[in-house]
């Protein structure tokens, strides 16, 4: 595979990415050199877009994400950002963030000037001229399959705590042995995967026990 970023019609005809689908491969320039999506196989990855460099909400997000880098690393979860801005814009923004907030952005920020990646992932519509109206987040498992996604407007920043919680929850239920209830955090109760037989329904201790059965985290490991 060439080290040159893909351009032109590489992603023509791609439909928006859906849960359970494998994320489209790409090669692109970034603040940490040329990167490929496949470089991140074997670990979880959060791929997220931001409307533009040098904007207030995006800056607040990147500062918070950089400060939470050790928490993401503890989950063995890599980070990769992208926007339509040029590589030189990304680099200048990183310098401005360091000088203002004394934090270093040490994850790659991809340039997507032609919106090829954005369109392939459904971040923007086929006729959109830019990606300034949305901040999308994709949670990819170690095989590159999308397991969750969020979409925020340009005027509202993402919650870094929720991003971390989402990764932890996805990792915990990835084996299919349990379900994560509302607001789940590591160590709190999970829910048993309901059996789907008449026998299990009739054998339950009450009318709801067969489909709602809290279990301690660790009980199914």
CA angle centred on 145, ends 12 and 158, rounded to 5° = 90
- Nearest partner of 119 among 110, 111, 128, 109, judged by Cα: 128
Q: Which of 6, 38, 35, 19 is nearest to 151 (CA)?
A: 19
Burial of 14 (0-12, 13-18, 19+ CB in 10 A): middle
DSSP-based three-state secondary structure for 116: helix
- Catalytic position from the list 14, 58, 77, 151: 58
Nearest alpha-carbon partner for 112 in 207, 37, 202: 37
Our answer to whether residue 14 is catalytic in this structure is: no
Q: What long-range pairs does 176-180 form, CB within 8 A, spacing at least 24?
A: 177/220, 177/221, 178/215, 178/220
Which of 119, 36, 5, 30 is closest to 81 using CA atoms?
A: 30
Q: How far apart are the first and last CA of the chain?
A: 40
CB distance 74 to 43 below 8 Å: no
**Active-site residue set:** 58
């Amino acid at each position: 595979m060439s080290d040159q970023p893909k351009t032109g019609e590489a992603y023509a005809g791609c439909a928006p990415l859906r849960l359970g689908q494998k994320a489209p491969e790409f090669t692109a320039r970034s603040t940490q050199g040329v990167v490929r999506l496949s470089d991140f196989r074997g670990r979880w990855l959060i791929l997220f877009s931001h409307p533009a460099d040098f904007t207030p909400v995006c800056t607040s997000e990147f500062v918070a994400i950089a400060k939470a880098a050790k928490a993401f690393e503890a989950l063995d979860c890599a980070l990769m950002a992208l926007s339509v801005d040029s590589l030189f814009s990304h680099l200048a923004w990183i310098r401005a963030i360091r000088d203002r907030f004394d934090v270093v952005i040490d994850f790659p920020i991809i340039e997507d000037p032609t919106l090829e990646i954005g369109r392939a992932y459904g971040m923007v519509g086929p006729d959109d001229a830019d990606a300034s109206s949305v901040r999308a987040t994709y949670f990819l498992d170690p095989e590159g399959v999308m397991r969750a996604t969020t979409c925020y407007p340009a005027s509202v920043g993402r919650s870094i705590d929720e991003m971390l919680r989402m990764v932890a929850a996805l990792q915990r239920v990835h084996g299919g042995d349990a379900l994560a209830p509302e607001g789940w955090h590591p160590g709190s109760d999970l829910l048993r995967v309901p059996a789907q037989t008449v026998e299990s329904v009739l054998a339950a201790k009450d009318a709801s026990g067969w489909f709602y059965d809290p279990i301690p985290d660790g009980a199914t490991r």
